[in-house]
A = this chain, B = another copy of it.
Amino acid sequence: MSQPIILYDIPATDPKRKAWSPNTWKARYSLNFKGLPYKTEWVEYPDIESVCTKIGAGPSSTRPDGSPGYTLPVIYDPSTKSVVADSLNIAKYLDKTYPDTPKLLPAGTEAFQSMFLGNVAPAISLPLLKILFHRQCTGLNDPSEKYFRSTREKMFGKKLEDMGGEEEWNKLEPALAKLNGWLSANGPGRDDLLTGDRIIFADIQLASLLIWAKVVCGEDSEDWKRLASLHDGKWKRFLAQFEKYGAVDI
């Protein structure tokens, strides 16, 4: 690898919370975990589509109106001249292209990880999304704030400030309680990672949701404290395992 990989991410106003998006954190943690050199290109929300089109990153989704949806993370790897969109595709690409780095999707875990991403993570990320929306939005730079607010309020038919609250905590807490129960099946001392003893992509998925909450709410906020105190500090402890992979090149 002669030149660093480029990671495209969405900036916030506050340098301390510059990397905040749970989706781009999945790619950032993946790169840091593998020890691959990279640098971040910061892209405001309204510019994501034009940047993706320019570098040749295809759409990662279809919008409700049928038009293509462009999202970050995207990476560009100058060593292979590859552009890869979507954090799971990035994880697969990195595993394949850099086989001497620790695997994010080791053989034997793919179906289970896919199940986690498809069935378990959304039960956590969806309520969290609504709890965090308005806080996240106010921390963005002006063009991103306007874009984020108008697209999300249209999508959900509500003001950002009218989402979240106890209703969403009442979904989030049971989802986390279930996950806590499943992790405990690994046995004492092995219940802080999905496979018990090594980090895989599904762990990174969960850590990305947790750092999102921590960064967006702030460590001293009531919401972060509430999340961090659940199940005897389970999620704070879970996230702490990722501190060494939390570097951001701001």
Contacts and interface: CB of A to CB of B under 8 A. Distances in A.
Interface string A170-195: 00000000110111011100110011
Given A118-B178, A119-B119, A178-B118, A108 B183 contact: no
Nearest to A187: B110
Interface residues of A, number: 27
Given A119-B119, A119-B120, A120-B119, A111 B178 contact: no
Contacts of A116: 112, 115
Contacts of A179: 115
A113 interface: yes
Name which of A109, A196, A197 has the most chain B CB atoms within 10 A of its CB: A109
A112 B190 CA distance: 13
Contacts of A120: 115, 119
A114 B197 contact: no
Chain copies in complex: 2
A114 B196 contact: no
B112 A115 contact: yes
A248 B106 CA distance: 37
A114 B181 contact: yes
A1 interface: no
A179 B112 CA distance: 10
A107 interface: yes
Interface in A82-124: 107-116, 118-120
22 contacts: A107-B186, A107-B190, A108-B197, A110-B185, A110-B196, A111-B183, A111-B195, A112-B112, A112-B115, A112-B116, A112-B182, A112-B194, A112-B195, A114-B182, A114-B185, A115-B116, A115-B119, A115-B120, A115-B179, A118-B178, A118-B182, A119-B120
